[in-house]
Amino acid sequence: MSKYQHTSLYCYPGTEVLINLFEIKDEEKLKELETVYTLFRLSELLIQKPADPLDKKAFIAIHHYILQDVYPFAGEIRREMISKGSSSFAHPKYIGPQLDKIFNDLEKENYLKDLPRSKTISRLAYFLAELNALHPFREGNGRTIREFARQLMLNAGYKLEWQKVLRPADIINAFVDSFHADNQRLEQLLDEILSK
């Protein structure tokens, strides 16, 4: 059963399997393939120099890069409502304007460069929570947001190491809390994995 609670224009008719470049219609096989390709693309990004500034265009490019081998919608803003559990994400008509606002605010804050570490953590948590609440893509939001954060922090002189989080559920739970306007757990997690 899909983690999203609706019939999707991104799925093969009569299924909950996302339309993919391999035309695989088995959800488990698709997830296995997606994992392999996205891990490969993420490992490539680890050795590339990040865009600077890391603006809206760069954020969307990260999504495209990570999912380019698997989905035809890689790098595209979603065009339908999605939800997980009891949480509904932003309506598609608000995604573009809200992304513009987030990235305008990030530019005004000089992409979090030259801030004290504690302020960097709180502002990073804020921006990540905002992006997560938007969930601008049909698939791959978490991976894109985490990679964006890693690159953003690299440009600001920090090393953000998501792999230090031993339980993936800790990341998910921190983002769930932030969706409900509580960034405390996300800030604590970032504090543990952010270093100079």
* Domains observed in the chain: 27-77+89-195 (1.10.3290.10)
Q: What is the pLDDT of residues 83-133, one digit of tens each?
A: 888 889 999 999 999 999 999 999 999 999 999 999 999 999 999 999 999
pLDDT higher than threshold 90 for residue 26: yes
Residue type, 22: F
Can you give the pLDDT at residue 85?
A: 82
Give the residue-averaged pLDDT of 152-176.
96
Can you give the pLDDT at residue 2?
A: 45
DSSP-based three-state secondary structure for 159: strand
Q: Is-contact 16 2, C-beta < 8 A?
A: yes
Q: What are the residues facing 18 on neighbouring strands?
A: 11
Can you give the pLDDT at residue 1?
A: 39
On average, the pLDDT of the chain sits at 95
